[in-house]
A and B are shown apart, each in its own frame.
Chain A
Amino acid sequence: MPDSEAPLLIARDLVAGYVPGVNILNGMSVDVVPGQVRCVLGPNGTGKSTLLKAMFGFLPTQSGTMQLRGAPVLGTPPHSMGALGITYLPQRPSVFPFLSVEVNLRLGTWAFRHDRARVRERTERALTQFPILRERLRQTAGTMSGGQQRQLEIARALMGDPTVLLMDEPTASIEPRVAGQIYEIIQGLARAGKAVLLVDQNIKGALGIADHVYVMRTGTLFEEGPRAQFTDEVETLVSRWLYTR
């Protein structure tokens, strides 16, 4: 995938933190590009998940800008992000565990719930894309395996047909075989034109599908570049995280 597509979402110099006076993000910038998986890597505690929370509006920013197709969107509350075409998959399991698979999917269609034909079409599309969900439609979501729950989360996030997906460690705590399937799904979404920003601890897995890589250190951009710049360099990358001051 070429690395020169026009970005859809541009975040610049984001500064944010959970406690006054202690910033986790110290001027982080990223571009999210249609048709690409852009991946944010970095050591634990460097602010990768905080970056997504700040971008999606869960965490107020102290400074910085974010533009979607040129329009400022920083500070938009999370419940309004879906209407802008931005969706977010949290790091922690985010299915509604005591609700059925069907109801979980339905919760992804509230923005256009009155358009029944569209709801039916989206539901059918999700069930075709994730056949396991059709088999488990009446099952309580919390009783499915971790990988199946992740598929449900992704399916629910796609119900509103978003253009930008912010994904926080989608393969965390999932067995390697299933993680591979999840990475394939994410790559397929990018091939279908979605703009994906992926935060991940699984360097090999993420590098396997990334078109562009951002490496974070202490809340700022340490280095960035196309995937080719980082492939076969996993050990070097990790040692640089550990030893570069």
Chain B
Amino acid sequence: MRIPTLIASLVLLALALAFPHLVNAYWLSVSILAIFYAIITASWTLLVGYAGQFSFGHMAFVSLGAYTSGLLVTSFGVPIPLGMLAGIIVCAVVGSGVGYVGLRMRGPYLALFTVAFSEVLRIIFVSETEITGGSGGLEVPPLFHIRSDIPYYYLGLILLAASLGAMVALVSSRWGLFFRAIRENEQAAAAAGVRVIRFRVLAFAIASSFAGLAGGFYAHYVGILTPDIGSVDQMGLVVAMAVIGGAESLVASVIGALVLEVAIEALRSYGEWRLVIFGAALLLVIRFARNGLLPLAWDRLARANPRLRRVFAG
């Protein structure tokens, strides 16, 4: 690692570690939710930006992970970490199933199929009131029995760093190359020796398991689960975070999620108009910066200052 990159990384790490002690409880809570969205957005980017599998059902896996952990803990007394692990496994298995059933679908057809899956799951959570509590919600025990949110912030930060590290390692590996090859040309990928079916299903399973992890963390942080967490509105928010940040870069999409979640809260006084603002921002990004704002900004900065190019490269 180059020295400027190392210095920048250490400063960022110090800021991230000191953050809970620099802000009030409200902004700490916002930052924990921003971390939650960052894990989801990164895993959606892995599925869509790298593997090319356009899914609008990613929040369904967040809700599946959340409800799996919540129900196992509340109904069967399973320890919370084991409940969260079970949520990850269930999401991986169901994600494989969705990926397998959707094998013959591409682009908008796959997107519509995943929307349908997402709505079916949401309606099940709404309807099965005796098990899930329906729209009234399911009370879930917290991870930490203390009044401060600080432990959640650090745990979220660890989960985000571990998830992002694992995803970056994955996309840098042979599997990541296979994902990109399938995204760009399935037939040519198969002709080059890539097991297309296996890797399409794997992409769904891996991305869904990260969504399940985020869901489990969310469940035991907020303490009450409602089916709305898997709604299409929430999915739209994740798509906006990834597209505005940069849906072809894990780091850019994470930054997009962190910034957008904070911005949504900062603009809360504008009521519903803030959604109009974000909608307009999304349209402008799609029109003028198809790879997202961060890659565009990096590119501009690097062009203006070649030394920065070395920093980004390092």
Q: Is A56 an interface residue (CB 8 A)?
A: yes
- Let me know if B188 and A78 touch, CB within 8 A: no
Q: Which residue of B174, B185, B193 contacts A79 across the interface (Cβ within 8 Å)?
A: B193
Q: Which residue of A81, A106, A113 contacts B191 across the interface (Cβ within 8 Å)?
A: A81
A79 to B195, CA, bound (A): 6
- Let me know if A99 and B190 touch, CB within 8 A: no
- Let me know if A87 and B194 touch, CB within 8 A: no
Contact status of A94 and B185, CB under 8 A, knowing A99-B180, A110-B174: yes
B191: chain A residues at CB < 8 Å are 56, 78, 81-82, 87-90, 94, 157
Total interface residues on B, CB under 8 Å, equals 16
A80 to B188, CA, bound (A): 13
Q: Is B299 an interface residue (CB 8 A)?
A: no
Q: Is B128 an interface residue (CB 8 A)?
A: no
Q: Is A108 an interface residue (CB 8 A)?
A: yes
Proximity string of chain A (153-166) to chain B, C-beta cutoff 8 Å, 1 when within and 0 when not: 10011001000000
Closest chain A residue to B248, Cβ basis:
A98
Closest chain A residue to B187, Cβ basis:
A90
Closest chain B residue to A58, Cβ basis:
B187
A97: chain B residues at CB < 8 Å are 184-185
Proximity string of chain B (167-182) to chain A, C-beta cutoff 8 Å, 1 when within and 0 when not: 0000000100100110
A79 to B191, CA, bound (A): 6
B interface, over-half SS: helix
- Let me know if A94 and B196 touch, CB within 8 A: no
Proximity string of chain A (102-143) to chain B, C-beta cutoff 8 Å, 1 when within and 0 when not: 010011101101000000000000000000000000000000
Closest chain A residue to B192, Cβ basis:
A107
B185-233 CB contacts (< 8 Å) to partner A? 185, 187-196
- Let me know if A96 and B188 touch, CB within 8 A: yes
Q: Is A95 an interface residue (CB 8 A)?
A: yes
- Let me know if B193 and A111 touch, CB within 8 A: yes
- Let me know if A58 and B192 touch, CB within 8 A: no
Expressed in whole angstroms, the minimum distance between the Cβ of B221 and any Cβ of chain A is 37
Most A CB within 10 A of own CB, among B174, B177, B184, B189 = B184
- Let me know if A107 and B184 touch, CB within 8 A: no
A92: chain B residues at CB < 8 Å are 187
B194: chain A residues at CB < 8 Å are 79, 107, 110
B187: chain A residues at CB < 8 Å are 58, 78, 90, 92, 94
A158 to B185, CA, bound (A): 18
A89 to B188, CA, bound (A): 8
Which residues in B have some Cβ–Cβ distance to A below 8 Å?
174, 177, 180-181, 184-185, 187-196
> What are 7 contact pairs spanning A and B, CB under 8 A?
A58-B190, A80-B193, A90-B187, A92-B187, A96-B189, A97-B185, A156-B192
